[in-house]
Copies of this chain bind each other. A is one copy, B any other.
């Protein structure tokens, strides 16, 4: 299928940092409507598998999008699209 694995979109060792690539991909999903306002993102553990990166990398990407006002994180519940 054309919608290949998201892990394939991440270039390990590429010019751009891993967490930036993940943040870009999530941002694209929000902007394109794949992720709608109020929706809950997959858990950090799931995103770890989806993107093939470490949890710390996922968290770094999420932290950036929180600062950008695109996401909100609630401990014990999850991460949500603003």
**Interfacial residues, chain A to chain B (CB-CB below 8 A):** 45, 49, 56, 59-60, 63
Q: How many copies does the complex hold?
A: 2
Tell me the smallest distance from the CB of A58 to a CB of chain B, in Å.
12
In the complex, residue of chain B having the shortest beta-carbon distance to the beta carbon of A46: B63
- What B residues does A45 contact at CB under 8 A? 56, 59-60, 63
Bound-complex Cα distance A63 to B48 (A): 13
- What B residues does A56 contact at CB under 8 A? 45
Counting from the closest, the 4 A-B pairs by CB-CB distance are A45-B59, A45-B63, A45-B56, A45-B60
- What B residues does A59 contact at CB under 8 A? 45
Bound-complex Cα distance A59 to B45 (A): 10
